[in-house]
Amino acid sequence: MAAAPGSDGRPRAGSDGYELVVTGRAWLDGKLRPVEVGVDEDGWIRRIARNLRDTGHRLDFGESVLLPAATDVHVHFRDPDGPDPAESFASGTEGAALGGIGAVGEMPNTRPPVDDRERWEEKAALARGRIAVDVVLYGSAQSPAAVRSLAPVAGALKLYLAPTTGVEDFPIDRLPEVLEAVAAVGLPLSVHAEWPPAFSPSSVPPSSTEGWNASRPPAAERAAVDRLLRAPSSLRLHIAHATEADTVDRVAGGGISCEATPHHLLLRARSDGDGFAKTNPPLRSEADRRALWDRFASGAVPLLASDHAPHHSAAKEGPFSKAPSGVPGVETMVPLMLELVRSGDLPLPVLLGAAMDRPARWFGLPMGRLAPGHWANLIAIDFRRGRKIEGKHLRSPAGWSPFEGRRAVFPHGHLRRGEILVADGEFVGPRNGAVVRPEYVSTVSRNVPNRFVTKRV
Ligand code: NCD
Ligand code: ZN
Ligand code: ZN
C-alpha cells in the first residue's frame, strides 16, 4: 500500500471499494461499539460504520479495542552519535511502534546538535529508510541564527533554558531575541523550562533524586514560566515536561501549551533514588507528583509526552553526581496509561485527548482520531492482556526502565496507514516511516489552524 496521501493530501474519492476493512470495537460517541473501518489504497480512513458492505481485504481484531495511534512530541533517539548512543532511529521508532506511538517528535540535542539547515538535512537523510513510524525533526532554537537557518526545514523548534544532557548553558539574557526570531518564522516552539538563576547550588553535590529536586527546585520552573508568559502572544509556545500543577494552571491562562511525562506523573523523588531515576527537570515530592496527576487525570494537561531519554546502564550505575540525566519511556508511555484506564484511575477520553488527538494536531498531522479524513494509524488493545514491564525485554538497547515491574497493557496490533507494523505484540513492519512536516509552516506564519496537509520532506 502506498504510504503517501493523494496529491492534494486528502483521502482519494472514487469507487466504493476499500483497500482494507479493519474490524474491532471502538470508543465512539461515549461508548464501546463494534465497528468496521474502511481504509483506502493510500492508507486513509474513508468510512466507519457498524457494517461496511465491501469486498476489500479484512483484518479482524474481534473483541479488541481499536484506538488511534498516539503521537509523542518529545523523544531523544540519539542519532547521530548520542550523546551516549543508547538508541538509534531504527530501535527508537520500533520501540515507539511497539508502544502504540505512530509519530514522534525527535529532539535536536544529538551530536552535533541540529543547529543549522545542513545538519537538519543530514539527520533527515539518516532517518529515511530506517524509521518504522513517522518522525518530525526538531531544530535547535538556542540562537536567532539557528532559528533562521532551520526555519525552511524543521518541523518544530526546541529551546533549552538550562543545561541538560548534550546542552550547555543558554545565555538567558538573549531569550527575548530568540523568541522574536521564532515568532517571525511561525514554527511551534517547545521549551525546557528551568531557570538556572533559581537553582540552589549546595556545597555537597546531590546524591539522590531528593537532593536533585532540592538543587533544581520547582521554583526554577516557576521562574522560567514567568519569563515565557511574557513571550509574544503569536508564538505557538509549548512547555516540555511540566512538573508542577501550578505550571499547568498558569500556562493555560496564558495561552501556552504544556506536556507532562509518565515519570513525573507516576514517580517521586526519594532519599534513596539513584542515578537511574535522575532526570531533568527532577522527579518531584509526592505532594507535587500527586497534584500533577490530579490535573492530568482531570484532563487539564494538554499533552502527554515521554521525554524518552535513554542512557546506558553503565553510565547510570556510577555515583549519582556523574550519572547523565534522562530516562527511557517511549515504549511504555501508552501501555502504562492504558493499565490506568483499565484500573479505572484514568478516563479513556482523557488519554485519547492528551496522547492521541492533541499532539497530532500540535504537529499538524492527520492522525490521532478514529475518523474519516485521518490516516489509518490504529492500535489494537486487549485489556485482559496486561503484563509487567521488564526493561530487558524493551526494544531500546538501554535495556532498563524506570517503571520496572509495573503493570502495563501493550497494544497487540499496530497499523501505519493500513500497513501492519505490530502483530501479536511483535514488530513485523516495514521501515517506511516518513520525515514529515506540516505544510502550513511554509505557507503561513501564525495563528492559522492546522490544516491537514502534510508533506514528506
Ligand atoms: C534529556 C536527554 O537525555 O537528552 N535528559 C533529561 O534529563 N530529560 C534532555 C532533556 O530533555 O532535558
Ligand atoms: Zn528537557
Ligand atoms: Zn527531553
Of 456, 436, 261, the C-alpha closest to 364 is 436
Question: How many domains are contained in the chain?
Answer: 2
pLDDT at 449 over 90: no
Average pLDDT over residues 2-20: 52
pLDDT in tens, 324-349: 999 999 999 999 999 999 999 999 99
CATH number at residue 399: 2.30.40.10
pLDDT in tens, 232-283: 988 999 999 999 999 999 999 899 999 999 999 999 999 999 999 999 999 9
The confidence score (pLDDT) of residue 203 equals: 82
The confidence score (pLDDT) of residue 157 equals: 98
Average pLDDT over residues 145-166: 96
The confidence score (pLDDT) of residue 227 equals: 97
Instruction: Indicate if 402 and 354 belong to the same structural domain.
Output: no
Least confident of 15-19, 194-198, 211-215, 267-271: 15-19
The environment of the single-atom ion ligand 3, i.e. residues with CB closer than 5 A, is 307
Instruction: Indicate if 225 and 278 belong to the same structural domain.
Output: yes
Instruction: Indicate if 111 and 189 belong to the same structural domain.
Output: yes
pLDDT at 116 over 60: yes
Say whether 422 sits in a helix, a strand or coil.
strand
The bound ligand whose nearest atom lies closest to the alpha carbon of 324 is 1
Segment holding 33, helix H or strand E: strand 31-39
Average pLDDT over residues 147-165: 96
Span from the CA of 163 to the centroid of ligand 1 (angstroms): 9
The confidence score (pLDDT) of residue 440 equals: 56
Distance CA 348, CA 203 (A): 46
Q: What percent of the chain has pLDDT over 70?
A: 92
Distance CA 412, CA 387 (A): 12
pLDDT in tens, 66-109: 999 999 999 999 999 887 789 999 999 999 999 999 999 999 99
pLDDT at 58 over 80: yes
Instruction: Indicate if 164 and 108 belong to the same structural domain.
Output: yes
Within a 10 A sphere around the Cβ of 3, how many other Cβ atoms?
17
Q: Is residue 345 annotated as a catalytic residue, yes or no?
A: no
Of 107, 184, 123, the C-alpha closest to 151 is 184
Give the domain-ending residue among 346, 368, 390.
368
Instruction: Indicate if 51 and 180 belong to the same structural domain.
Output: no
Segment holding 189, helix H or strand E: strand 189-192
The confidence score (pLDDT) of residue 441 equals: 52
Q: List all residues 6 or more positions away from 366 whose beta carbon is below 8 Å from its beta carbon.
A: 5, 9, 44, 360, 373, 374, 375, 452, 454
Distance CA 234, CA 247 (A): 20
Distance CA 107, CA 332 (A): 19
Q: How many CA atoms within 13 Å lie on the side-chain side of 404?
A: 9
Instruction: Indicate if 150 and 272 belong to the same structural domain.
Output: yes
Instruction: Indicate if 213 and 109 belong to the same structural domain.
Output: yes
The confidence score (pLDDT) of residue 358 equals: 96
b/e map 117-156, b = 16+ CB within 10 Å: bebbeebbebbbebbbbbbbbbbbbbbbebbebbbebbbb
The confidence score (pLDDT) of residue 304 equals: 98
Q: Which of 325, 327, 330 to mutate to test the pocket of ligand 1 (most atoms within 8 A of CB)?
A: 325
Distance CA 336, CA 189 (A): 27
CATH number at residue 344: 3.20.20.140
The confidence score (pLDDT) of residue 3 equals: 37
Report whether the peptide linkage leading into residue 108 is cis, meaning its omega lies within 30 degrees of zero: no
Span from the CA of 32 to the centroid of ligand 1 (angstroms): 38
b/e map 261-279, b = 16+ CB within 10 Å: bbbbbbbbbeeebbbbbbb
pLDDT at 57 over 60: yes
Distance CA 271, CA 154 (A): 41
Whether 4 is in a domain gets the answer no
Pocket flag, ligand 1, residue 326 (CB < 6 Å): yes
Pocket flag, ligand 1, residue 243 (CB < 6 Å): no
Average predicted confidence (pLDDT) for the chain: 92
pLDDT at 49 over 70: yes
* pLDDT top residue among 361 and 14: 361
pLDDT at 450 over 70: no
The confidence score (pLDDT) of residue 133 equals: 98
Task: Return the axis-axis angle of helices 218-228 and 245-253, rounded to nearest 10°.
Answer: 10
Per the structure block, which three cell numbers stand in for 54?
465491501
Span from the CA of 2 to the centroid of ligand 2 (angstroms): 36
The bound ligand whose nearest atom lies closest to the alpha carbon of 212 is 1
Q: List all residues 6 or more positions away from 444 whose beta carbon is below 8 Å from its beta carbon.
A: 186
Domain with 39, as residue range(s), is 20-67+370-438+448-456
pLDDT at 409 over 80: yes
pLDDT category at 453 given cuts 50, 70, 90 is very low
Report the sign of the C-alpha dihedral through residues 324, 164, 257, 451, in that order: negative
326 CB burial (10 A radius; 0-12, 13-18, 19+): buried
CB 73 within 8 A of CB 363: yes
